[in-house]
Structures are given as C-alpha cells and as structure tokens.
Structure 1
Amino acid sequence: MDNNFIYLDNASTTPLSDNVLNIINSTYRNYWCNPSSTYEQGIKCSTYLEKIRSKIAYIFDAEPEDIIFTSGSSESTNIVFSKIYESFKNGRVVISNIEHQATTICANKLRKQSWDICEWTVNNDGILNILNIEKILTKDTKLVSIIWGQSEIGTIQPVQFIGSKCEKLNIMFHLDGTQILSNGIFSWRDLKCDFLSLSAHKFGGPKGIGILLTKEKSRMILKNKDISLTQEYSIRQGTQALPLIAGMYESLKNIKGKIKLYDYITEFPSNNINKLKNYFFKKIEDNNHIKITGSINHRLPNHISFLILNKLFEPIRAYKIVNFMSENHIAISSGSACSSSSGKPSSTLKNIGFKDDELYSNIRVTLGSINNKSEIDKFLELIQICIDKF
C-alpha cells in the first residue's frame, strides 16, 4: 500500500497484521483437510479446530460450545432471526430504528410473514428511549435485537440494562457487536445477552469469518437436527474455514484491554486510539462549521462522525468530501460501507432529528492502531479546504 495513504475507515474493515496473515498461510499448508473427515488428517484438523475454539472461548470467558463459527455478523444475525421464526412461527420482534441493514433486512422478512416488528426510537444522541421500555417489551415479544455500537454515528446503547429487563421477561436478546471488539474484549459470561454477532475483519482478522456467541438456553433454539453435530453443534452447516478461524483467533490475541460492563455504560479501556479521538474533538470544538452526529460521551472509542458546513453554513454533501479526501490519499466514509454507496438519505440521521438537507452529509472517521496525530492534523487541514471550496 502507498506509504502516503492515510486510512481512516477502520469501521469498514481493518488491515491484517503480519502475524494474522502468517497463521492463515501456515494453516492452509498444514491443516487443509476437512475437519469432518474421519481419517487421520481430518481428525488432526478437527482437533486443531476444537483447540482454537477452546482458546477463543477462554478469551471471552465463555464455554467452547458457546462459540459458533459463521461467515460473519450478517450470517450470524440471519441465523438468529431464522430460528426465532421457526421456533415461534408468530410474535413480536423489537429492533432499534437505527439498526445496520443486516438486522433490518432480517426484520423485514419476518414482517412479510405477519410478525409485529417494533422499531424502538432513539433520542437526538442516538440512544434508545429507555423510559418507555415497559411499553416496548410486551408479553408477545420473542426477540430484542439491538446494535451495541452504531456504525454510522458511533453511539453506544445501555445493553446491560436492556438485557436485565429481557432476562426477567424471558425474552431472547441479540446484540450486533460488530463494531465493539476492536476496542477491547468483553466477558461473555457477564454480558446479559443470549446471542451476539461478530465479524473478524472488523477487528484485524480475515474477511469471510465471524462468530455467533450463544448460551446454553439460546443454543437449544438454534439447533437443527438435520445438520451433523460435527458442524457447529448442529447449528451452522458447511465445512469450517479452519485457516480463517486460526487467523481470527490470532487477531483476537492482538486486542488489548478489557471492556467493563455497567447497567447504562460500556466502559472501554483507555488507549492511544481513544486519545487520538479526543485530540480530534479538542481541535474542532471551536469550529462552528463542524457539527457532530451521535453522542459525544457514549460513543465508540475509535469513532468520529460529523457534518461539514460550508462558508454559508450549508451542509456539504458527503460524497464531495469523500472524493476530495480520496484524491488527497485519505480514506474516510459517509457511514456504513454496506449502505454508504446507495445514494439514499441517511435514515439514521433522520431518526435522530437531523433536517432533510443534512441527511446526505454525514462523514465517518474511524481510527485504528496504525493512525497518529500527524495524520489527523493533515485531515483537519483538508477539512478547512473543503469548507472554503464547497
């Protein structure tokens, strides 16, 4: 990659470190047989697979059987919604009105099958309106599915509080944890949640592999007797991608610090990335041409999102900023990579109270361990040029 290239889009995907790439390549060479095969080399691969599963479980303070390998968060979420539908046939599902499209697509499939889909509203910071939780979590609710750290505006939800309520009401609780793990490791044992979806490429691992975290009760819903027990405890069919799983484990080992969980707060470990984000906010606090989207205090540590206003204080379309930065060798985005190229106005910005002429203007900067202050300074210089230029 060009040494002059500045990558500020780590919520979209992250680069592989050398140790992750090396373990993927060595596993392709040494463990290429099918783990479900019953001859010696297949058994060798199966043993290695389960050894990695146990080590990943240890990292999360989980049981090995809690770890279900999938192709990533989208598939993990699909598995949960599909099995809820099969188990209950009809009922109510609660999602927030700022979910990633992977969740909204799943919810809309159930809506077409006459399920009641409730979209839980958020405040202007993007935080769920929890004062009406008693009305939201009705006796007909079978599943609550919430994005823990919102990819477009970075807002963190009070997941432990919601999980406690779901537990009392015997409602299954699924979290989209896709953006969380790059900022620290959490304890699955302590997290009040039944399912959680992860994608390795969001935390320094390879694309095409992820995890669905489960618990004993929730796994019973997911099991399919037609799927072999050797294929993810009869939950997910298909040959396991052992080299990618090995690479994912290696990337998990690279993550530093523990996430602390409280009813209303997710406390992330302090690190250089968080300091870099705070440095950015400090540098722009007096700039009235930059308007922050999402919560300042309850935000992913590596996430910055904002609108840029021109000299006339009109919002500048995000594509102009993204293209200008690209021409200057800086990669940023206008939101989730899955939807930023759609050309549609941001439903997330609309649902947190932004005006119609602002819905096309969100800029997202997401930091990684490869970034530094000089890169932020250069980016800020180019923002000022955009303010004057557009």
Structure 2
Amino acid sequence: MQYSNIIYLDYNATTPVLPEVLDVFNKYSSEEFANPNSAHVLGKRAKLALEKFREEVASLLNASSEEIFFTSGGTESNHLALLGVALAKGKGHILVSSFEHPSVLNPAVKLLEMGFEVDFLPVNSQGYVDPEEVQKRIKKNTFLVSVMLANNEIGTIQPVEEIAKICQEREIIFHTDACQAVGKIPVDVKKIGCDLLSFAGHKMYAPKGIGGLFIKKGFSISPLFLGGGQEKGIRPGTEPVGLIAALAKAAEIAKKDVSFEAERLIYLRETLYEGLKEVYPKIYRYGIPEKTLPNTLTVSFVGKIGSKILEDLPEVCASTGSACHDRKGSNTLIALKVPEEIAQGTIRFSLGRYTTFEDIEKVIKIFQGYFRLKN
C-alpha cells in the first residue's frame, strides 16, 4: 500500500482498485466512452465491448452471459433479488438468515411491513445456518429463501449447496448474497444450485459503484426501476461501460489466481492468529478455520474493548465488524448471542492482495507492545 506507516487489514470493507483494473476503467471512460445503446459506430463498439465484459464476469461464476445483470453494487443486487421476487409473487412466506448483511435484512423487514410472512433463520454458536433448520421452517407458501454465501463480519462460509438442494426439492427460489465470497473463493452457480446470486465489484479490486445479480436462465423477477429497457428491462439505466470493464478485468484476474491467493492468505491469517494468541492468550476465535473465508480472521480480545484497541493503534486499519452496520450493534454478534464480555472485544482482520508476511509480523509486534504497555 502507498501508506508506509499504515497496515491495511480491512479488505472485507473494501479493496483498492488494481492498477490493471484502473487502466481498463480509464480506457472505457475516456476513449471508448460512447453509450452502448447508441446506433452509431462508437455506440456499436461500446455495445460489443459490454457484451464481451458480461461474458468475462459470467465466466468467473460459471454462468452464461445472459444470466448476468449489472447493478450499482451489492446493496442494489440484494434489493433487486428480494423485492423483485416478492413483487413478482405478490404474497407468501420468506426465510432469511438472521445474520445477513443489512442490505438483505432491511428489505426483509420492509417486506414484513408490506404484509409478507418473514421468518429469520437462527445460526449456531459458531456462525453457521443449519440446513435442517431451513427444512423445518419451510411452509406450504414459502417462495424464497435467502442465505449469504459468506458472512461479512466473521467470514463463515455457509452450507449453501445443501440449502439450495432443499429449496430445489420444494420448488422454492434460493438467493445467496455472495458479495464477500466472489473473488476470494471459487464460486460456481451451477455447483451451488442457486437461482439468484449477488456480487459486488469493490470487494474484488474493482471500483465502488458496480456489481451484479446472477439470475438463472428462464427465471424472471420484477424490476425495481422503470426506464429505457437496458439489462432486458430488469435494471434499466445507461450501462456504465467503464465500471463494467473494470469489473470484468477484476473477474479475469480473480479467476486466474483465486486458488493460489487463497492458500497464501490462509497462511498469513493463521500466522496472525497464532501470533495474537501468544500475545494475548484470552483470545476467542469466531468460526471454524477450514469453513471460513481464507482472508478473514475475526477474534475477540476477551475482557478488552475492540474499538478502544483500534483507536489506540491507528497504524492498524482493521474493524470491529461490518463497515455497513448502523453502529447500534453487530447483526452477526447479536444473531450469535455472543456474551457482552466477548462481543465488546471483537476485531475483524481481513487480509488481501497487498498484505505481506512483513505486515503480519509488524501487526503482531504492535499488539505485543500494546498489551505490554496496558498490563
């Protein structure tokens, strides 16, 4: 990173834009800038490029290009999935896990206010949804289940394939918010068996303001906006070709080296955990390591206050949870029913492409010095 005195470990909040991604963005924002819906030669060139980019994004997810719909990001994609399906159905029952991102939980609450039946699935103490619990809570009028692929605060990877199979057997629509997973682990929509999948560019080294929704072929939802008919009318509005080009480049890079990068980050993550545990033995770790995002380490320094630690250590850019919650409390920790003594000491370290072994060593030394001083 360009800040020599700061160690950035908040990649789950947002990632920097990779130089090669920025190059493509600049080209299709300043040189190949035309509206892809224009009939002239520059418009046609932009349209051809747009569809090429759609294919590249689809390839990352093992989808077909006609199943990819571009949005402004994860929040819009999640709204489009939940509200779009609900508006198409008109009434019925929805199941949503209790520790989803606010961009899923809040639309679910809105649907409850609109007269839909909504149940919130519990998670176990380690941060996982039990597929058997999904099975038990399905009703005759259940039409939608939404469970995130990976939790944004503690990184736990959910058993979405099992849940999708349950939904398929009951002819229930299954949506997964994969914003934190795409680009970090292999994501295959066919293997998962989902009908809808949300993803966001700024979690995978593309700019903010671009994302998408996978909609399984043959499946239709109601649009939230009415306009010129772009994206087959599902998401009208002039397509931001520069942002889409950047997303496609980020997808190409992720597809090429996601496995190698995951192995590297797991090594760094475990090195960090072992170092912090040695420095502060009263440390509590969330999730099962092999069922957690490779870059995510969320721990509690039991008896301490996480926000105070980070305030005292400004050179370490980490988080006390999601950067997106409203500060009234962590949705995830509330859903996990974590005791206050543990919850208040929670810090999320999320690593990324620019994280080095030297960074991890520095962080361990910084925490070592901090706890020596405090004790």
TM-score range (shorter-chain normalised) is: over 0.9
Is the counterpart of residue 362 in structure 1 residue 346 in structure 2?
yes
Q: Secondary structure at the match of 2:239?
A: coil
Q: Secondary structure at the match of 2:147?
A: strand
Is the counterpart of residue 241 in structure 1 residue 240 in structure 2?
yes
CA RMSD of aligned residues (A): 2.2
Matched AA of 1:307:
S
Is the counterpart of residue 330 in structure 1 residue 322 in structure 2?
no
Q: Map residues 162-311 of structure 1 onto 2, 5 A cutoff.
A: 162-218=163-219, 220-222=220-222, 227-229=227-229, 231-256=230-255, 270-285=262-277, 287-309=280-302
Q: CA deviation digits over 1:108-140, x for unaligned, max 9?
A: 110101211111111110111333332122221
Aligned to 2:335: 351
* Structure 1 position 233, deviation (Å): 1.3
Q: Secondary structure at the match of 2:307?
A: helix
Q: CA deviation digits over 1:339-370, x for unaligned, max 9?
A: 2xx43232322322311343333200001121
Q: Secondary structure at the match of 2:183?
A: helix
Contact persistence 1:273–1:301 (CA under 8 A): yes
Q: Secondary structure at the match of 1:55?
A: helix
* Structure 1 position 256, deviation (Å): 4.8
Contact persistence 1:344–1:360 (CA under 8 A): no
Is the counterpart of residue 83 in structure 1 residue 69 in structure 2?
no
Query: 1:268, 1:22 → 2: CA distance?
Result: 24
* Structure 1 position 301, deviation (Å): 0.6
Contact persistence 2:322–2:330 (CA under 8 A): no
Contact persistence 2:69–2:212 (CA under 8 A): yes
Q: Percent identity?
A: 30
* Structure 1 position 105, deviation (Å): 0.8
Contact persistence 1:97–1:119 (CA under 8 A): yes
Query: 1:168, 1:290 → 2: CA distance?
Result: 42
Q: Secondary structure at the match of 1:52?
A: helix
* Structure 1 position 298, deviation (Å): 1.3
Matched AA of 1:170:
E
CA gap 1:127/1:11 in 2 versus in 1, 3 angstroms: same
Q: CA deviation digits over 1:65-93, x for unaligned, max 9?
A: 11100011110011112212211221111
* Structure 1 position 241, deviation (Å): 0.6
Which range is displaced more, 195-204 or 35-44? 35-44
Query: 1:66, 1:243 → 2: CA distance?
Result: 20
Contact persistence 2:87–2:222 (CA under 8 A): no
Structure 1 residues without counterparts, runs of 5 or longer: 260-266
Is the counterpart of residue 317 in structure 1 residue 317 in structure 2?
no
Aligned residues: 372
Contact persistence 1:272–1:369 (CA under 8 A): no
CA gap 1:46/1:270 in 2 versus in 1, 3 angstroms: closer
Matched AA of 2:233:
S
Structure 2 residues without counterparts, runs of 5 or longer: none
Query: 1:175, 1:131 → 2: CA distance?
Result: 17
Query: 2:26, 2:224 → 1: CA distance?
Result: 33
Q: CA deviation digits over 1:15-58, x for unaligned, max 9?
A: 11111111111111222121112222222211211121123223
Contact persistence 1:124–1:352 (CA under 8 A): yes
Q: Secondary structure at the match of 1:181?
A: coil
Q: Secondary structure at the match of 2:146?
A: strand
TM-score, normalising length from structure 1?
0.89
* Structure 1 position 94, deviation (Å): 0.7
TM-score, normalising length from structure 2?
0.93
Which range is displaced more, 131-140 or 42-51? 131-140
* Structure 1 position 336, deviation (Å): 0.8
Is the counterpart of residue 383 in structure 1 residue 371 in structure 2?
no
Contact persistence 2:100–2:331 (CA under 8 A): no
Aligned to 1:2: 3
